Structure 1
Amino acid sequence: MEIPELVDVLRREGALLADTAAGTPLDAPVPTCPDWRLRDLVLHTGQVHRWAAAHVKGGLTRPLDEAGQEAAWGPAPADAELVEWFRTGHADLVAVLAAAPADLACWSFLPAPSPLAFWARRQLHETTVHRVDAQAAAGTAPSPVDAAVAADGLAELLTGFLPRPKSRLRSATARTLAVRPADRPESWLVTVGQEPPQVRPGAGPADCTVGGPAHDLYLLLWNRREADPATVTGDRSLLELWRETAAVTWS
């Protein structure tokens, strides 16, 4: 996906998250994030937006330290102001990304064609996943994620986050998970062993295969939905291991 496409989806997803939060009690539990209430989700995502915008706007070559993060976030708003505070930070992030030069030089933490592409992509998927969380708190079904967007999010997860040394996804014996979206040409093979997972594009033999619409696989592998038996073939314990240990953190 090109950067303007990423930014446009980020704009829509943030607006949908805010609209959902505006119509839902802020103390509603978030089933997909069991330790959170909706206010925690909105606050977290708004803080991430401000944190990301600070790196892009300032062209920062190192990540913000604790004091810098707190300065970027500002004081936590009261409940009555929380959604509008979120909208303001989201709008600023969208504007900063849309105005940034293509040759922007700043810190990033996953492979990407450029720092600007990294930040646009990362904030799109941060916001989309948490929009799904907000809808879960509201008790509504998640709005569909476009197949191209979902495939891009799978690629970020599988080829960016998953192979990092800090990934906790490990298996005593090497096993392979195949990820095969039914509505996209992309597919991946994830080998899980005693070292960080190895990911390669394409199809091939696998111990466990997850297949179906890219939207469903996006939610499944970001741990936002349960697996439908129809979407999983082979050794389901590998998918269970994924769900227990493949949590994502930013650093």
Structure 2
Amino acid sequence: MSEILRLQSVSRRFSGLQALRDVSLNVNKGEVLGLIGPNGAGKTTLVNVVTGVTPASSGTVTFDGQDITRVKTYQSARLGLSRTFQIVQPFAEFSALDNVAAAALFSQRGESLKSAREEARQHLAFVGLEAQSEQPAATLTLAMRKRLELAKALAMRPKLLFLDEVNAGLNSAEVERATKLIHQLAANGITIVMIEHLMKVVLNVCSRIVVLHNGQLIADGQPRDVMTNPLVVEAYLGQQYAQRTGAHG
């Protein structure tokens, strides 16, 4: 399996706070990697560092063989890095269609509005929002806005897609629908890194899991091995979860 992303000794400081500490990590083409850990562990900061929102204080980030440690957000998008945001904030007055078309225009050089809209229709159909294409984003339910966020990310034609808590706030039927979409994306060859708190989803979708705690990488491996790792149980999963899965005692 060839590598698409590599982080080498990446750290990020915000004044007195060390958000990431010497994180070294590789992501292989075509895999679905789960990025888990407690709140404040540095998960979103890691995504921000890779996508150019907040550059690394030290260390290097390599994507598809290219050093992207200091690239701007629009440059990372054009290279094939895309993400969803935990707090979904579409252009409220824009239609669902134009929200997705805007993402296509942002990330693709020379894209015309006509072709961006045609592409947007395909992505809306994929996420099941075809019927809502002309509705203002403000009128969509939370679950629909999450799917709109995914369609926007797909319009950027990603080689690697970061999914930041796409299931947060959804009911079980909506989670099941989102999980199916993730399986389909992986089947289409998109490499996925997903931040997720629902362990059922992580175990269902991810082929490998990495765990952050206090900005440090404390585990990296197959899902079942990571779930029974004493460090992970103590830092994140807790004894109750461990007992249910047979990790402890």
TM-score (norm 1): 0.28
Higher helix share: 1
**Greater RCO structure (CA 8 Å; 6+ sep):** 2
Higher strand share: 2
TM-score (norm 2): 0.28
